[in-house]
Amino acid sequence: MDFVSIRIITGDVARLVDFYERATGVAANWATEDFAELRTASAVLAIAGTRTVPLFAPGAARPADNHSVIIEFLVDDVDRVHRNLSGFVEDFVQTPTTMPWGNRSLLFRDPDGNLVNFFTPVTSTAVAKFAARATP
């Protein structure tokens, strides 16, 4: 099994895609006006409109109603990213902070209220963990 993507259901696909393109620097690939994907080296962030939900199961997902998932992106320099996002991101939950597990993390909310964590490994253990992950 291979984890390949996470999908966000939103009431405004264009707005959320624009937000993630600006925040990540990754251009989206649009399949339809209701579905786009931002592809990184290791996973895909899919963004879909509410009209796609009934294709799976009516009422199975609701936009802007996430209270348990954090979308995480590994970045080279979280402090630099924080500076670049200042003035663009409206809701910073936590400025860059070194966590007990060795990552320096920046936590904010996207326009739908989803939590997003941009992080950089900073301790030798965390750096080694992610260096090993990147090696095939």
d(CA 97, CA 120): 10
pLDDT for res 56: 93
Digit-coded pLDDT (tens) for 2-44: 999 999 999 999 999 999 999 999 999 999 999 999 999 999 9
How many whole angstroms separate alpha carbon 72 and alpha carbon 134?
16
Which two three-digit tokens encode residue 47?
């963004």
Q: In the chain, pLDDT over 90 holds for what percent of residues?
A: 93
- pLDDT bin (cut points 50, 70, 90) of residue 134 is low
Longest dimension (CA), the chain: 47
Distance CA 127, CA 39 (A): 23
Q: 84 in helix, strand or coil?
A: helix
Report which of 30, 25, 39, 35 is spatially closest to residue 118, judged by C-alpha positions.
Answer: 25
Mean pLDDT score, 37-52 = 96
> 121: pLDDT confidence band, cut at 50, 70 and 90?
very high
Q: What is the pLDDT of residue 136?
A: 44
Asked if residue 38 lies in contact with residue 20, where contact means CB atoms within 8 angstroms, the answer is yes
